[in-house]
Amino acid sequence: MSVLLILMLPFVGILLPPLLQRQGRLAATLGAGIPTLLAFGLLMSLGPSVLAGEVLLASREWVPAMGLTAGLRVDGLGFLFATMTLGIGLLVITYAHFYMKKDDPLGRFYAYLLLFMGAMLGIVLSENVLLMALFWEITSLSSFLLIGYSSHDSEARRGARMALAITGLGGFCLFAGLVVLGQIAGSYELSVILASGDLITSHDWYVPMLVLVLLGAFTKSAQFPFHFWLPNAMKAPTPVSAYLHSATMVKAGVFLLARLHPALAGTSPWFFLVGGVGIATMFFAAYVAFYRHDLKGLLAYSTISHLGLITALFGFGTAGAAVVGVFHIMNHAAFKASLFMTAGIIDHQTGTRDIRILGGLRKAMPFTMVLALLGSAAMAGIPLFNGFISKELFLKETLDLPLMAGAPWVFPVVATAGALFSMAYSVRLVHGVFFKDPTEKTPKEARDPSMGMLVPVGILVAICVIVGIAAEQTAGPLLAAAAGSTVGGELPYYSLSLWHGFTLELLMSAIAIGGGVVLYLQRARLYEIADRWPQLTGQMAFEKVQGLILSFAEGLTARLENGSLQRYIVLLLGMALVAGALPFLEHGFVTGTAELTPTNPVAIAVWALLVVATLATVFTHRSRITAIICLSVVGLLISIIFVYLSAPDLALTQLSVEVVTILLLLLALFVLPKVAPPESSTLRKIRDATLAAIGGAGMGLISWAVMTRPQDSISDYYLENATYPVGGGTNVVNVILVDFRGFDTLGEVAVLVLAAFGVYTMLRYARHTHVEGVDDMASDRYPVVLVSVSRPLLALILLMALYIFLRGHYLPGGGFIGGLVASVALILQYLASGIDWAKERMGVSFRYVAVAGVLLATLSGGAAFLVEQPFLTMTLLGLKIPLVGEIDYVMTLLFDLGIFLAVVGGTMTILSQLSHMQEDREPFDEEARAKETDPWKP
Amino acid sequence: MNHWITLPVLIPFVAAILIEIVGRHHIGARRVLAVCAGLGTIAAGAYMLLRTHQGEIFTYAMGGWEAPFGVALVADGLSALLVTLTGVVSLFAALYSMNRHDTKGKFFHFFLQMQVAGICGAVLTGDLFSLFVCFEIMLLASYNLLVYTGEERGLKAGVHYVILNLAGSALFLVAIGTLYGVTGTLNLADMALRVGELGPEDTALVRAGGLLLMVVFMLKAAVLPLHLWLPNVYGSATAPVAAFFAILTKVGVYAILRVSTLVFGSEAGVAADVLAPYLLPLAALTLALGMLGALGSLRLRKALGFLIVASIGTMLMSIGLYTPEGIAAGLYYLVHSTLGIAMLFLLVDLIARQRGEKDDRLVVARAPAQRALLGLLFFAGAIAVVGLPPLSGFLGKVWVLQASLMTPHVVVVWVAILLTSVLALVALSRAGSLIFWKGEEADDEERVPRATAFELLPVFGLLACLILYTLFSGPAAELCMMIAEGLLSPGDYIEAVMGVRP
Amino acid sequence: MEALIASAIAVLGGSGIYLVLRARTFTVILGLALLAIAVNLFLLSMGRVAPGHAPVIEEGLELGAYVDPLPQAVVLTAIVIGFAMMSFAVVLAITAHFVTGTDHLDGEETS
């Protein structure tokens, strides 16, 4: 339980600093410091049991399906890292209070810092590796926020994005690797994974899994060639660098190596990948660090180098090396955090971090000088400091590598060379800043800072010195516990004493220290040589790659999504053709065996007319009125065909829809150009014609294939059940529409009403956008002949509509057709007599007729609920109404009436809107009106 | 009688009618009705989840006509999940619209509720033709929502959207016709029974019908190469509409999933596995092109549109594995990405407004006035859609990886997921850094419209949903797993509808 | 007879598709109208060809004497939905023309 509390405290604390910020800087700092201190205290209370070798576990289920648990674990390694995270965190919070500028939003800064702290704790205290990966990515995210804290600085923004891209990429690889790892081990719990080392290392997937996991570790720990994000992250405020880039974030990578050491280490892929990359990074980064003029840049590369050293140690795969690796983690955290803070002090007090400008600060900043001197000595690996012990143990480990038996000198030589540069840059740091003569005046007058900034550094430096002198007595127990969990078994013999006699590694240390000094003295010549080398950095490569991807993405997107609808339609059609053709290509086209229906001359004549009319529509499509006329002929012929194919309902519907559609298209031509320009190229036309021919042929062939097959469908049921007492009608099609499949019909009128509403809205906008040509419609209105014919006609047609509607259940007809016919009659009045005349006499808004129709249909369907029948049950044989008696089929009629009204309302809304486009009576300013009636708006 | 099955359709449908009748002249009444309908749909969905989460399947014979003759509604875990999700997104879209969006056109709430009804009908119906009708309701409502403001942007996008979908509807009918011609039925469960009995001479015909149907669904779901319409359409809609559209593509995904497992599953005789070989590769390419598009977009809303495409790719790739884990992971991700994208669409509206005339274009502009608050929300939203911890997208991606690990497609899926995750990371960190960090400070003179608490409420609401979804991932994943297993053994579904097992 | 209907569907469908691939809204709508007719005929043909069969129940007729009513119901619904879509598309074309000043599909003259 207390483990969970330790983890939660920083997350809970996130809210405090921003909230307390208004009470002043101190309040914000306390808001960040107190949760940290509490967590630290709680952690320490666990110390005795952890140091005694206990592993504290606390687990809760979270997502069993993915093997993810909210499992926490405190063992030696986790305890060590948690201690560093919280301990150095406390120091950094203190330091930042004095370091950050007065006008910096400190609350936000501390909130980010606590977020990061919590995530880091999560990594080191997770029992479930997926949970660990989860926290892993949160550290990347929070470090993105921290690095980009000075967001007005373009370098900071770029650095933040680069860090996020690299560590994010690594994070994704890591969680992929961990998924494989869990799959191999059969569980994502560390307890299981750590115990299945043999199973894992002998598995087929070991190498790919290892590569993925290592990508995560290397990117986070800034190993070559992913190191370049770290120096670019130096734009972060110095407390952030001191925290993230010495003790925590970058250490997550080596933590991972240590954490999974028992399960993954000891194989030759592990050795060459981890050991090789580590040692290469160690040398390379030390070399580069020597050439950095920016203090923080130097420290950043030094950090990379030391992380390489630690990585190499874990890579060696032996228990002994692992112990040294853990030891160097502790030591490096202490001295590097102190040095970053020192660099921050120098920057804060002088206004620059450039070693070429700085110099001679020993007089102005004596305290700082002492602390820097001690910290650098630890970094350089000078005896009596903690860095010396671990570095010497490291050199010793390089001498005994069984897998390098062929070339045993490689690792020791590279390691010594790395140590030599390490010495050289450490000397440079101290001498260059405090002792050599200054070349120019610093931007600010240098002097020692307040105690608040010095004390945190002092504490860290003290640790370096104490551990350096009496390692066994001070760091011994913690190291033993941490190394114990890293090795995963009995600890090997090791000695932390200063003096091991005259050994080879002592000689190597001596060479490194001596050589480093010599190198520093020769620096001027070395810088000159280095300046002549071409600059090719990982950062440039990264930006080049990113630029390439970006321009590729932009180019590709602009090219594909070019905003041409014709292309999209061609793609859709192409897909459909492929989808339709593939099965036939694979399985062959089989014609059915059913007997064909004989044909007759009339049918052939109608067919020929249809083909001619259709093709005429295509060929005349640019002169639009002609095309519409051709289209209307097609529609007429189709109605005839429907009659012939024993579908009178369809013929009626088609006919009335055809009339309305043609009317609509003609009205549209009042606005749209009546003639279209020729524009398609011949090539385009051929392409389209080919596609069209294939598409049409495909439809025809499928239809042929189906029509020639014998039929076995569910339709007989409808024929058997349509009449009394079940369906109550003889027109089966209508019974299907209003009863069997009433749901579809209800949906269908909803579609019609939606269309009507859409038309209404759009035309209201259109009317307010004055365009020439609209007024054409107004002229030539009310032809006398039409007026005199249409009025008597109206009554007649309406009567017919009513008749069609009423008989629908028994003979062809029904709500749909009746509604459409009525609409045609009504719209004739509009066209003949003008809107004002018609409006006065009708006095009803068709939109509400339409909605009322839908409501009526829905209600008559819902009546079934009253007698516990399913929705849309029409034949309510049990429903008795007082006085009226049983109402068997009334619901059918009401439903159909609803449909009728909806169709009339919907169609009329569309047509009437179209035919009085120049009219406008209602207030258009919807917003203004809404304000009047809306009680919620001020 | 399980009348409750009709509620997800009837609640929004009746609400839409009432909005036009009762709320004709009173925007307040329309709003109250819209909120009630949203809550009602959520409640209906939640109740459905409660009833179906053990794998039970309920049917409802519309009009009292037994399947396959009448239209049957079928409620299972999958439809319950989608109904609930639709309800949640519609509620927040409706709430957000009350800030200056629902007064831009007259019938916003009417269209929105109609669309909800259409979606719920589509996921509930067990009949192929009524699926078509519901799709049409859904589409017409969405056409209207796209152009309801009468702005040029929406109208231009609307022409594309409408015409493309009209062509799609024609194709839908051809597919339905072919399948009816071969099988003689329109009911999906009945069709599943009948395709199993078809002879080899009908193989090509039934498979062609099936594939044509899948092309239609892919158009709705925006699967490559039919995804190109989406970014511009979504990018041109108003914020609440775009946020609600986040659910629209998922109906396509639903249809693909439902029909390809029920009718064209692996035990469907000559019609077996019609889509299975093609779905995964297409989805992987969809994911890749979607993410590249997000990276290459010059406007933030468009980038979000491409992120939808990418998320469709992710979930269909997982579904394309056609294993229980794969489908479950896809469904888990579906819920997550819908919530995440919807939240971002609302948020981007607030951000764009505070950037002045630069709107959502990815160029240097003045920083949003509420930089810290909006930045934080954007950060959270970006985390969600990239699939970073701690939000559920991360879990979804982990699950997809896990599900594909033991299959032959492991390399394709893993490479696609990992690379596109990095692209998403780069795309959104660039956008965020440009808007919130690089932005110039606003002049004091200029009055910038600050987001009100009521505007932020839906954004926070959706974020809260995401957080809850993450916290309760355990039961959610279990539910997805149950649904996936049910889909892969369609016998229960068929028995529930038809009364016989295949 | 079947061949006539299948070829009619092919001609209607092909013509519709060709027009749908044009660049002007109005032409595309004409194409969609043709395509809708083709699709409706196609749907009807899925119930097989039945000239001279009874569409309405009469006393004493065998089941085989009736035409398949289900495709007819489906086509009827499809016609009405198609009409609704058509009118929406026409008005959208008009409105887009008002706003953009062109009837090109992409809202701007490209060539």
Domain range for A369: 271-521
The least confident of A411-415, A437-441, A786-790, C56-60 is A786-790
The least confident of A704-713, A876-885, C43-52, C63-72 is A876-885
Chain B: list its partners (3+ Cβ pairs within 8 Å): A, C
User: What pLDDT shows up at residue A783?
Assistant: 54
Chain C residues at the B interface, defined by Cβ less than 8 Å, are 16, 20, 25, 28, 32, 35-36, 39, 42-43, 45-46, 70-71, 74, 77-78, 81, 84-85, 88-89, 92-93, 95-96, 99-100, 105-107
Q: What is the mean pLDDT of residues A1-5?
A: 81
A253-298 pLDDT, tens digit per residue, is 999 999 999 898 888 899 999 999 999 999 999 988 888 888 888 8
Nearest to B152 among C88, C92, C100 (CB): C100
> Which letter, b or e, does each residue of B140-166 get, where b requires 16 or more Cβ atoms within 10 Å of its Cβ?
bbbbbbbbbbbbbbbbbbbbbbbbbbb
pLDDT at residue A563 above 60?
Answer: yes
Domain range for B289: 275-440+449-487
Nearest to C43 among B147, B152, B177 (CB): B177
Which pLDDT band, with edges at 50, 70 and 90, does A819 fall under?
A: confident
Domain ranges in chain C? 2-49+67-100
Q: What is the DSSP letter of A464?
A: H
pLDDT at residue A935 above 50?
Answer: no
Which of A521, A537, A561 represents a domain boundary (last residue)? Answer: A521
DSSP string, A809-858: TTSS--HHHHHHHHHHHHHHHHHHH-HHHHHHHH-S-HHHHHHHHHHHHH
Q: What is the mean pLDDT of residues A769-796?
A: 56
Which of A501, A521, A541 represents a domain boundary (last residue)? Answer: A521
- The proportion of chain A whose per-residue pLDDT surpasses 70, expressed as a percent, equals 90
Q: How far is C83 from chain A (nearest CA, A)?
A: 7
A354-366 pLDDT, tens digit per residue, is 888 888 888 888 8
Q: For residue A198, what are its two tokens?
A: 């043999």
Asked if C44 and A603 come within 8 Å (Cβ–Cβ), the reply is no
Q: Which residues contact B87 (CB under 8 A, 6 or more apart)?
A: B8, B38, B39, B40, B41, B42, B43, B44, B45, B116
The residue behind tokens 């559920």 is B392
B102-115 pLDDT, tens digit per residue, is 888 788 999 999 99
Q: Which chain C residues are within 8 Å of B160, Cβ to Cβ?
A: 105-106
Asked if C92 and B133 come within 8 Å (Cβ–Cβ), the reply is no
Which pLDDT band, with edges at 50, 70 and 90, does A933 fall under?
A: very low
Nearest to C9 among A596, A700, A751 (CB): A700
B46-49 contacts, C-beta under 8 A, 24 or more apart: B46/B84, B47/B4, B47/B7, B48/B4, B48/B5, B48/B8, B48/B75, B48/B79, B48/B80, B48/B83, B48/B84, B49/B77, B49/B80, B49/B81, B49/B84, B49/B479
Whether A230 maps to a domain, the answer reads: no
3-class secondary-structure state, position B228? coil
Asked if C35 and B152 come within 8 Å (Cβ–Cβ), the reply is no
Substitution target in A609, A645, A721 with the highest count of C β-carbons within 10 Å is A645
The least confident of A239-248, A408-417, A801-810, B440-449 is B440-449
Instruction: Give me the interface pTM, i.e. the ipTM.
Output: 0.94
User: What pLDDT shows up at residue A228?
Assistant: 86
Q: Which chain B residues are within 8 Å of A161, Cβ to Cβ?
A: 426, 429-430, 433
| Of residues B137, C93, C95, C81, the one with CA closest to residue A657 | C81
Query: pLDDT: is A836 or A391 the higher one?
Result: A391
DSSP string, B86-141: HHHHHHHHHHHHTTTTTTSSTTHHHHHHHHHHHHHHHHHB-BHHHHHHHHHHHHHH
Whether B376 maps to a domain, the answer reads: yes
Q: Which chain A residues are within 8 Å of B118, Cβ to Cβ?
A: 747, 750
Q: What is the DSSP letter of A275?
A: I
B283-312 pLDDT, tens digit per residue, is 999 999 999 999 888 889 999 999 999 999
Query: pLDDT: is B158 or B121 the higher one?
Result: B121
Q: How far is B268 from chain C (nearest CA, A)?
A: 22
Q: Which chain B residues are within 8 Å of A742, Cβ to Cβ?
A: 62-63, 71
Q: Partners of B366 in the beta sheet?
A: B440
> Are A252 and A280 spatial neighbours (Cβ–Cβ below 8 Å)?
no
Nearest to C76 among A645, A646, A737 (CB): A737
A736-751 pLDDT, tens digit per residue, is 888 888 899 999 999 9
The residue behind tokens 């005795």 is A48
Q: What is the mean pLDDT of residues B151-179?
A: 91
A758 part of contact set with chain B, CB < 8 Å: yes
Q: Which helix (H) or strand (E) holds B6?
A: none
User: What pLDDT shows up at residue A790?
Assistant: 65
User: What pLDDT shows up at residue A928?
Assistant: 43
B443 part of contact set with chain C, CB < 8 Å: no
Q: Which chain C residues are within 8 Å of B163, Cβ to Cβ?
A: 20, 25, 28, 32, 89, 105
Q: How far is B447 from chain A (nearest CA, A)?
A: 19
Whether A606 maps to a domain, the answer reads: no
Nearest to B418 among A173, A558, A748 (CB): A173
**Across chain B, what does the average pLDDT equal?**
90
Whether B47 maps to a domain, the answer reads: no
User: What pLDDT shows up at residue A937?
Assistant: 40
Q: For residue A283, what are its two tokens?
A: 């040398």
Which pLDDT band, with edges at 50, 70 and 90, does A786 fall under?
A: low
Q: What is the mean pLDDT of residues A542-551?
A: 87
Query: pLDDT: is A213 or A803 the higher one?
Result: A213
Q: Which residues contact B241 (CB under 8 A, 6 or more apart)?
A: B93, B101, B145, B146, B148
pLDDT at residue A775 above 70?
Answer: no
Helix-helix angle B203-221:A565-587, to 10 degrees: 160
Which of A504, A521, A538 represents a domain boundary (last residue)? Answer: A521
Interface list for A 200-259 with B (CB within 8 A): none
B298 part of contact set with chain C, CB < 8 Å: no
Chain C: list its partners (3+ Cβ pairs within 8 Å): A, B
A40-96 pLDDT, tens digit per residue, is 999 999 988 888 888 888 888 898 888 899 989 998 899 999 999 999 999 999 989
User: What pLDDT shows up at residue A838?
Assistant: 61
Whether B424 maps to a domain, the answer reads: yes
CB atoms within 10 A of CB A103: 6
User: What pLDDT shows up at residue B440?
Assistant: 74
Q: What is the DSSP letter of A105?
A: -
Domain count, chain B: 1
**Across chain A, what does the average pLDDT equal?**
84
Whether A22 maps to a domain, the answer reads: no
B192-236 pLDDT, tens digit per residue, is 999 888 888 888 899 999 999 999 999 999 998 888 889 888 988
Q: How far is A614 from chain C (nearest CA, A)?
A: 6
Half-sphere exposure in the Cβ direction for A703 (13 Å, CA): 31
User: What pLDDT shows up at residue A603?
Assistant: 86
The least confident of A360-374, A434-448, B367-381 is A434-448
Asked if C21 and A692 come within 8 Å (Cβ–Cβ), the reply is yes
User: What pLDDT shows up at residue B252?
Assistant: 94
Query: pLDDT: is A714 or A118 the higher one?
Result: A118
Phi and psi torsions of B145, nearest 5°: -65, -30
Q: Which helix (H) or strand (E) holds B288?
A: helix B276-296
B158 part of contact set with chain C, CB < 8 Å: yes
- The proportion of chain B whose per-residue pLDDT surpasses 70, expressed as a percent, equals 99
Chain A: list its partners (3+ Cβ pairs within 8 Å): B, C
User: What pLDDT shows up at residue C81?
Assistant: 92
Q: Which residues contact A849 (CB under 8 A, 6 or more apart)?
A: A901, A902, A904, A905, A908
Nearest to C89 among B162, B178, B180 (CB): B162
Which pLDDT band, with edges at 50, 70 and 90, does A774 fall under?
A: very low
Torsion of CA B81, B84, B85, B90, to 10 degrees: 160
User: What pLDDT shows up at residue B225?
Assistant: 86
Substitution target in B19, B27, B124 with the highest count of A β-carbons within 10 Å is B27
Domain count, chain A: 2
User: What pLDDT shows up at residue B357?
Assistant: 77
Q: Which residues contact B93 (CB under 8 A, 6 or more apart)?
A: B112, B240, B241, B243, B244, B342, B346, B458
Q: Partners of B60 in the beta sheet?
A: B73
Distance CA B203, CA A672 (A): 47
Asked if A714 and B295 come within 8 Å (Cβ–Cβ), the reply is no
> Are A156 and A147 spatial neighbours (Cβ–Cβ below 8 Å)?
yes
The chain B residue lying nearest C106, using CA atoms, is B156
Nearest to B429 among A161, A558, A862 (CB): A161
Asked if C92 and B178 come within 8 Å (Cβ–Cβ), the reply is no
Distance CA A448, CA A458 (A): 13
Substitution target in B371, B433, B498 with the highest count of A β-carbons within 10 Å is B433
A866-902 pLDDT, tens digit per residue, is 777 888 887 665 555 555 555 556 778 888 889 889 9
Q: Which residues contact B183 (CB under 8 A, 6 or more apart)?
A: B190, B191, B194, B195, B198, B206
Which pLDDT band, with edges at 50, 70 and 90, does A474 fall under?
A: confident
Q: Which of A779-788, A888-897, B304-313, B423-432 has the highest mean pLDDT?
A: B304-313
Distance CA A870, CA A891 (A): 13
Nearest to C85 among B147, B150, B169 (CB): B169
Asked if A701 and C6 come within 8 Å (Cβ–Cβ), the reply is yes
| Of residues B22, B487, B459, B496, the one with CA closest to residue B255 | B487
A634-677 pLDDT, tens digit per residue, is 999 999 998 888 888 888 888 888 888 888 888 888 778 888 77
Q: How far is CA A178 from CA A3, B46, B290, B395, B428, in A?
A: 23, 35, 27, 13, 25
The least confident of A523-527, A889-893, B423-427 is A889-893
Which pLDDT band, with edges at 50, 70 and 90, does A500 fall under?
A: confident
> Are B310 and B59 spatial neighbours (Cβ–Cβ below 8 Å)?
no
User: What pLDDT shows up at residue B446?
Assistant: 62
Which pLDDT band, with edges at 50, 70 and 90, does B242 fall under?
A: very high
User: What pLDDT shows up at residue A227?
Assistant: 85
The chain A residue lying nearest C26, using CA atoms, is A672
